[in-house]
C-alpha cells in the first residue's frame, strides 16, 4: 500500500507533536524525581550531621511548611494529630464535651456551651476559666492545645480544673466525652417573634423568616430543609433572610445542597475547573426546591467566604434573590484532601470554581507578586463583565459584590478597647453569677449601663481618645 506524500507529511507532523509531548512529560517528571532526591538527601544530612541534635519530625514539618508557603494559604499539610479537624468538617461530628472556648483577659475561657452535651449537663458555665486539663496548665495555652486535650474517644474521661466568678475555690470536673454533632444552623425564627404582644399576634400566622447558617459541614442542606419545614409549620413564610455573615465556608457539596432548596431542579449552581483538560465538573441543583418563589435575601459581609460565596453567587447569578451587605472575602479555590502515609493528609488546591454566569470570584493571585512583594489582585478596570439570568451586569474577581450594599458601622476606638480587654464578656459573666441564685430579673437599659460603668471603673479601666490633645 502506497502512502501519499501528503499523508507522510501529516504522519510526520503528528509523530513530532507526540514526541514533543512525551519529551516534555519526561523532563517534567525528571525534575520531580530530582527534587525528591535532593530534598531527601538534604533532610538526611541535617538530621544526622547537624552540630546540634534536631527533632526529625519538626525538621520535616518545617521543610513541608516552607514548600507549601510558596503556594496559596489553603494548601496545607495535616499531621496525624490534626486529623480530627478534617473529620469535623467532613462528618460534622467529633468526640468531645461540647464547649466553645476563647482567650479572655489572658485566660482560656468557656464562651458557650452546646445544649444537651456533657459539659452543660455536668455543670460547666459560660465564663469559667480553664486552669488545668489532665494536670496540664492551661495558663497561656492556645485554643488548639485545649482542643487536643478535650477531644478524644467517646466514653473516655477528661479531668479539668476551673476558676469561676463568685467562687472562692477552684472547681474540679471529670467529664465524660461523647459524640458531639456540630450544628450548621444556630438560629431560626420569624422577625419580631415574641418581641411584643402585637408582634406575637402578627407572627402567629407567619411573616418574614430568618435563618442563621454558621458553616457548611456535612448535613447543612438537611438541617436547612428541616428548619424551613419547621418554619412553614409555624406559619406562612412570606419572605426569608438567609444570614451568611461571618460564615467561613466548608464543603462544596453542602453549598450546592443549600442552593438546591431555593432554585429549580437542574439549575447550574457552580462549575469547577482544574489544571488538566477535561477536568471541568458542573454541579446542578439536585432536588425540587422547598419554595422557589418566596422572596429571598442573603446577608453577607467581608468574612463570608468559600461555600458562602458559592451560595451567594448562585442566588445572585440566577436572580433568585437579593444579596445584601458588604463585599465578600473572595475565595474562589477548591481544595481536595489527599491521604498520605502515617495517618497524615494533604489539603491541596485542585481547582477554581465559577458561578453560574461563568465568573471566578477569586480575589488574590497567589502565583504572582508585585514589586512590593505582595500578592497581586486584578484592578477593577480589568475585571470582565458577566450577566445574570435576568441580564444584570456582574463582575469577576474580588468576591461577591452585593446587589444592595449596606456598609457596616465602624466601631469606635472606645468600643474596640473595651472589647480587647474582654470587659463586655466579663461584665455579663459577673452579672449572671450575681443572679444565679436569685429570681430577680436582670436589670435593663439605663440601670444596666450604669452598672457597666461601675464595673469597668472597679476594674481600673481608663481610656484616652487618641484624637484628644
Give residue 12's pLDDT band: very low, low, confident or very high (50, 70, 90): low
Q: What is the pLDDT of residues 110-125, one digit of tens each?
A: 988 888 899 999 999 9
The residue with greater pLDDT, 93 or 46, is: 46
The DSSP result for 49-98, as a single string, is HSSS---HHHHHHHHHHHHHTTS-TT-EEE-GGGHHHHHHHHHSEEEE--
Identify the pLDDT of residue 197.
Answer: 35
Distance of CA 399 to the CA centre of its chain: 15
So what's the pLDDT on residue 294?
A: 94
Task: Find the mean pLDDT for residues 78-83.
Answer: 80
pLDDT value of residue 171: 94
- Residue 54, pLDDT above cutoff 60: yes
Residue (of 243, 220, 256) closest to 92 by Cα position: 220
pLDDT on residue 463: 81
Confirm if 187 and 227 have CB atoms less than 8 A apart: no
List, for residues 359-385, the tens digit of each pLDDT value: 999 999 998 877 777 788 888 888 999
Residues 251, 307 contacting (CB under 8 angstroms): yes
Give the mean model confidence (pLDDT) for residues 388-403. 96
Among 192-196, 302-306, 432-436, the least confident range: 192-196
Please compute the mean of the pLDDT values over residues 262-276 and round it to a whole number: 96
Region 280-301 average pLDDT: 94
Spell out the domain ranges in the chain: 17-71, 93-181, 185-405, 413-458
Q: Helix, strand or coil for residue 113?
A: strand
Q: How far apart are CA 85 and CA 233, in angstroms?
A: 36
Above 90 in pLDDT, residue 7?
A: no
Q: What is the pLDDT of residue 372?
A: 75
DSSP H/E element including 377: strand 375-377
In whole angstroms, give the CA distance from residue 260 to residue 269: 8
Chain-centre distance for alpha carbon 412:
27
Catalytically active residues are: 306, 317, 331
Q: Point out the least confidently predicted range of 15-24, 347-356, 404-413.
A: 15-24
Please, are residues 351 and 83 in contact by the beta-carbon 8 Å criterion? no
- In this chain, the answer to whether the domains covering 93-181 and 185-405 adopt an identical fold is no
Sign of CA dihedral 234, 236, 237, 239: negative
* CATH entry, 93-181, from 3.40.640.10, 2.40.10.10, 3.40.1710.10, 2.30.42.10: 2.30.42.10
The full DSSP string for 260-272 is TTTS-TT-EEEEE
Structural domain 185-405, CATH architecture: Alpha-Beta Complex (3.90)
Amino acid at each position: 500500500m502506497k502512502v501519499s506524500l501528503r499523508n507522510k507529511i501529516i504522519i510526520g507532523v503528528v509523530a513530532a507533536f507526540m514526541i514533543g509531548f512525551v519529551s516534555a512529560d519526561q523532563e517534567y517528571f525528571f525534575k520531580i524525581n530530582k527534587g525528591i532526591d535532593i530534598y531527601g538527601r538534604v533532610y538526611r544530612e541535617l538530621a544526622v550531621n547537624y552540630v546540634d541534635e534536631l527533632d526529625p519530625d519538626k525538621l520535616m514539618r518545617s521543610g513541608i511548611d516552607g514548600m507549601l508557603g510558596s503556594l496559596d494559604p489553603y494548601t496545607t499539610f495535616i499531621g496525624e494529630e490534626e486529623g480530627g479537624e478534617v473529620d469535623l468538617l467532613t462528618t460534622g461530628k467529633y468526640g468531645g464535651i461540647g464547649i466553645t472556648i476563647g482567650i479572655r483577659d489572658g485566660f482560656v475561657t468557656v464562651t458557650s456551651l452546646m445544649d444537651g452535651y456533657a459539659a452543660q449537663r455536668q455543670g460547666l458555665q459560660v465564663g469559667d476559666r480553664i486552669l488545668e486539663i489532665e494536670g496540664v496548665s492551661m495558663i497561656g495555652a492556645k485554643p488548639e492545645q485545649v482542643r487536643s486535650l478535650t477531644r478524644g474517644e467517646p466514653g473516655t474521661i477528661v479531668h479539668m480544673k476551673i476558676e469561676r466568678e463568685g467562687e472562692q475555690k477552684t472547681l474540679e470536673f471529670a467529664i465524660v466525652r461523647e459524640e458531639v454533632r456540630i450544628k450548621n444552623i444556630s438560629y431560626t425564627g420569624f422577625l419580631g417573634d415574641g418581641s411584643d404582644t402585637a408582634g406575637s399576634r402578627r407572627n402567629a400566622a407567619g411573616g418574614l423568616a430568618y435563618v442563621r447558617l454558621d458553616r457548611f459541614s456535612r448535613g447543612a442542606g438537611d438541617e436547612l430543609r428541616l428548619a424551613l419545614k419547621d418554619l412553614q409549620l409555624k406559619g406562612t413564610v412570606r419572605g426569608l433572610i438567609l444570614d451568611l455573615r461571618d460564615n467561613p465556608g466548608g464543603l462544596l457539596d453542602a453549598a450546592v445542597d443549600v442552593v438546591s432548596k431555593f432554585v429549580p431542579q437542574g439549575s447550574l449552581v457552580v462549575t469547577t475547573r482544574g489544571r488538566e483538560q477535561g477536568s471541568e465538573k458542573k454541579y446542578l441543583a439536585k432536588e425540587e426546591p422547598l419554595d422557589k418563589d418566596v422572596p429571598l435575601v442573603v446577608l453577607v459581609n467581608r468574612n463570608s467566604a468559600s461555600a458562602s460565596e458559592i451560595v451567594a453567587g448562585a442566588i445572585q447569578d440566577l436572580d433568585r434573590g437579593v444579596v445584601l451587605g458588604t463585599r465578600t472575602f473572595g475565595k474562589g479555590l477548591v481544595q481536595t484532601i489527599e491521604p498520605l502515609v502515617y495517618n497524615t493528609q494533604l489539603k491541596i488546591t485542585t481547582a477554581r470554581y465559577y458561578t453560574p454566569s461563568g465568573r471566578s470570584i477569586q480575589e488574590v493571585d497567589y502565583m504572582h507578586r508585585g514589586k512590593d512583594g505582595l500578592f497581586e489582585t486584578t484592578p477593577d478596570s480589568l475585571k470582565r463583565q458577566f450577566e445574570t439570568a435576568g441580564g444584570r451586569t456582574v463582575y469577576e474577581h474580588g468576591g461577591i459584590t452585593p446587589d444592595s450594599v449596606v456598609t457596616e458601622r465602624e466601631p469606635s476606638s472606645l468600643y474596640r478597647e473595651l472589647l480587647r480587654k474582654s470587659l463586655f464578656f466579663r461584665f455579663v459573666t459577673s452579672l449572671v453569677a450575681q443572679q444565679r441564685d436569685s429570681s430577680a430579673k436582670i436589670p435593663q437599659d439605663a440601670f444596666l449601663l450604669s452598672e457597666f460603668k461601675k464595673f469597668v471603673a472597679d476594674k481600673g479601666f481608663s481610656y484616652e481618645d487618641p484624637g484628644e490633645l
